[in-house]
C-alpha cells in the first residue's frame, strides 16, 4: 500500500538491524550520560549498556562516545547528522617511500619544507604536537619535496599524509 515507506523501512533494517528492541526514548534521543539500559537481543541474550561520556569533535563532524557494553569499556566515533567535515587529509600509503605520514594523531606545529625544496637524510620536515609533547619528523632519505599536504595548526589523525617526496 505504501511502497516508499516499506523501502525506507527495509533499508533502515538492513543498515541498522532490528532496532525494535531498544526503548523508544533511547531510539529517538539516545542515552543520557550515566544512563544504563538492558536490551534483550535474543532469548537468553541480554546486552547491558551504559553511556560514560562523550567528546565533541567539531572539526571532524563527529562525536566520540565512551560506553560500557556488558561491563567492558568501549569507544566509538559517530558522524553527526548534517555535519560537514572541515578538514580531510589524504592517507599515507603503506609501503610508499615517497609518502611521509603522521606517526600519531596531533596538531602540526611547524612545517619546515615547501614544494620543490631539496632535503637530505635527517633534515626536519614537520613538527607534530600530541599530549603536550612535540615530535620532529625527519627525512629518511635524500629527496625533493613534491607537495605538502598540511599547514601549521592543522589537526591530523595517525597515518594522514603530511609530505609527499619525489625521487
User: What is the percent of the chain with per-residue pLDDT over 90, rounded to a whole number?
Assistant: 61
Number of domains in the chain: 2
CA of 93: how far to CAs of 18, 98, 119, in Å? 37, 9, 21
90 found inside a domain: no
Q: What is the pLDDT of residue 13?
A: 93
Q: Which residues are CB-neighbours of 39 under 8 A, at least 6 positions away?
A: 21, 22, 46, 47, 49
Q: Give the residue numbers spanning the domain of 104.
A: 99-166
Q: What is the pLDDT of residue 87?
A: 58
130 found inside a domain: yes
Query: What average pLDDT does range 29-36 have in this prediction?
Result: 92
151 found inside a domain: yes
| CATH code (residue 61) | 3.10.600.10
Is pLDDT above 90 for 82? no
Last residue of a domain, one of 25, 44, 79: 79
Tell which wins on pLDDT, 84 or 113.
113
Is pLDDT above 90 for 77? no
| Statement to judge: residues 75 and 114 lie in one domain | no
Does the pTM exceed 0.85? no
**What pLDDT, in 10s, does the model give residues 132-144?**
889 999 999 999 9
| Statement to judge: residues 105 and 65 lie in one domain | no
Last residue of a domain, one of 79, 110, 134: 79
110 alpha-carbon distance from chain centroid: 23
118 found inside a domain: yes
55 alpha-carbon distance from chain centroid: 12
Amino acid at each position: 500500500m505504501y511502497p516508499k515507506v516499506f523501502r525506507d523501512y527495509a533499508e533502515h533494517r538492513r543498515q541498522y538491524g532490528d532496532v525494535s528492541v531498544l526503548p523508544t526514548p533511547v531510539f529517538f534521543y539516545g542515552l543520557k550520560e550515566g544512563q544504563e539500559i538492558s536490551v534483550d537481543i535474543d532469548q537468553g541474550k541480554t546486552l547491558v549498556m551504559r553511556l560514560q561520556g562523550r567528546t565533541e569533535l567539531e572539526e571532524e563532524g563527529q562525536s566520540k562516545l565512551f560506553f560500557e557494553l556488558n561491563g567492558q569499556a568501549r569507544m566509538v566515533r559517530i558522524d553527526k547528522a548534517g555535519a560537514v567535515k572541515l578538514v580531510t587529509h589524504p592517507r599515507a600509503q603503506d609501503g610508499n617511500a615517497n609518502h611521509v605520514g603522521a606517526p600519531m594523531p596531533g596538531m602540526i606545529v611547524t612545517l619546515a619544507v615547501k614544494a620543490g625544496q631539496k632535503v637530505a637524510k635527517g633534515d626536519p620536515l614537520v613538527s607534530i604536537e600530541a599530549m603536550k609533547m612535540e615530535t620532529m619528523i625527519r627525512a629518511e632519505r635524500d629527496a625533493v619535496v613534491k607537495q605538502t599536504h598540511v599547514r601549521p595548526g592543522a589537526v591530523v589523525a595517525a597515518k594522514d599524509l603530511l609530505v609527499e617526496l619525489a625521487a
